Amino acid sequence: MGREALPAFLAAEGVEVLATDLDPGDARARDWIRTGQHAQERLFQPELLDRAAFDRLVSFRAVDMTRIPEDLQQGGFDLVWSVCAMEHLGTLERGLAFVLAAMRCLKPGGIAVHTTEYNMDAAGGTLRRGTTVLYQRHHLEALAARLAAAGHAMLPLDAAQGAGMMDRFVDLPPYAEAASPLGVVFPPHLRLSVRGYPVTSAGILVRAGDAGSFR
């Protein structure tokens, strides 16, 4: 989660939030901690709300996305979300399995929102395993079918590529955000090259079905 502002933003709107990230003692968390991308100490955003309100509404729990604790999978949440995390679980299938498992955290009618790296080359190769994997359209369409079989409804993927100048620009490494102390990308990019694949971000939105249909 790192410097993710969503927990504080939602709390500022009165939403009670349980934020999660890997246990800091987990070996897999070392690089995230070293690069300032681990959540536990970076959730408070003083420009969004005061500390007392934040502490009242936001709590943190160490959770492994590949093994969501059973007590969280009891259908008690209105919303679950992840931000560019499912592609870092080692394989394409592990990320898809996480999305499916996370649905068990939701109340009937609850909403899941996930973003992930998206390989815009629908017919070519992709990264299937490693520290970052790249989903293609057919992977997300297969996910929609699996969710539907479990009683949920995923919104159709909008794969329109756009025709603007920035829609045609593919940024190459090293990406410019590394040069900025604020982490602001300049020039901005909507697409970037990851090991030669044209990549952007995709959003996945799912409405949970009735509990009786998938438990």
* pLDDT given for residue 90 in this prediction: 94
* pLDDT given for residue 32 in this prediction: 59
- State the Cα torsion 39-42-48-53 to the nearest 10°: 80
Band of pLDDT at residue 163, cut at 50, 70 and 90? confident
More confident residue, 29 or 127: 127
Contact indicator for 12, 46 with CB cutoff of 8 Å = no
* pLDDT given for residue 188 in this prediction: 75
Average pLDDT, the chain: 88
* pLDDT given for residue 26 in this prediction: 65
Interaxial angle between packed helices 137-149 and 92-102, expressed in degrees from 0 to 180 and rounded to the nearest 10: 30
* pLDDT given for residue 160 in this prediction: 86
* pLDDT given for residue 214 in this prediction: 42
* pLDDT given for residue 213 in this prediction: 45
CA 20/CA 30 separation, integer angstroms:
16
3-class SS string, the chain? CCCCCHHHHHHHCCCCEEEEECCCCCHHHHHHHHCCCCCCCCCCCCCCCCHHHHHHHEEEEECCCCCCCHHHCCCCEEEEEEECCHHHCEEHHHHHHHHHHHHHHEEEEEEEEEEEEEECCCCCCCCCEECCCCECHHHHHHHHHHHHHCCCEECCCCCCCCCCHHHHCEECCCCHHHHCCCCCCCCCCCEEEECCEEEEEEEEEEECCCHHHHC
* pLDDT given for residue 132 in this prediction: 95
Q: Which domains does the chain have, with CATH numbers?
A: 65-161+200-214 (3.40.50.150)
Residue 51 in this model has a pLDDT that exceeds 70: yes
Q: What are the tens digits of pLDDT across the range 101-125?
A: 999 999 999 999 999 999 999 999 9
Band of pLDDT at residue 40, cut at 50, 70 and 90? low
CA 23/CA 213 separation, integer angstroms:
33
Q: What are the tens digits of pLDDT across the range 52-98?
A: 999 999 999 999 999 999 999 999 999 999 999 999 999 999 999 99
